[in-house]
Amino acid sequence: MSRSSILFKAIDIICYPGQNYKRFPGLTVVKNISYGEHCYNKGDIYYDKKFEGKKYPVIMNIHGGGFSAGDKSCRKSLSGYYASKGFFVWNVNYRLGPKEVYPTQAIDAANALNKILEFKDEYNL
């Protein structure tokens, strides 16, 4: 494991409570929607039904970690914050290095972005 991987993992572990302390009641959250063939290609959607009737603007959140560490679960509060402001948030994971080499992560991100098109009509995006 590289030093950067260790650093990113440590940051997520140490900062997890601070990054996810804020809760946004009333949001709809759908977890672990598959967007690819790999078991790690999953995303969560966050939105607030009080904004139904209008088209939701979309934010796709891809966690940090230098393509070698991190997880979508460390961005729950951030996703909730944007959803509480009227955004439809697609918070995704991707395959991590060093086992998966670049451009695997970029391909996963592109596939996750394309998945949004499948949500377009169902969620009025």
Please check the confidence at residue 99 and state whether its pLDDT lies above 80: yes
Give, in order, the Cα–Cα distances in Å from 18 to each of 11, 14, 60, 98, 110.
11, 8, 21, 27, 29
Question: What letter would DSSP give residue 74?
Answer: G
In the prediction, which pLDDT does 91 show? Answer: 98
Q: At 42, which helix (H) or strand (E)?
A: strand 42-48
Tens of pLDDT, residues 76-98: 999 999 999 999 999 999 999 88
Cα 93 from chain centroid? 6
Residue 16's pLDDT band, with cuts at 50, 70 and 90, is low
Percent share of the chain, pLDDT over 90? 70
| Contact between residue 91 and residue 30 where contact means Cβ atoms under 8 Å apart | no
Distance CA(109)–CA(24), nearest Å, equals: 26
Please check the confidence at residue 48 and state whether its pLDDT lies above 70: yes
- Outline where 45-123 has alpha helix (H): 76-84, 104-119
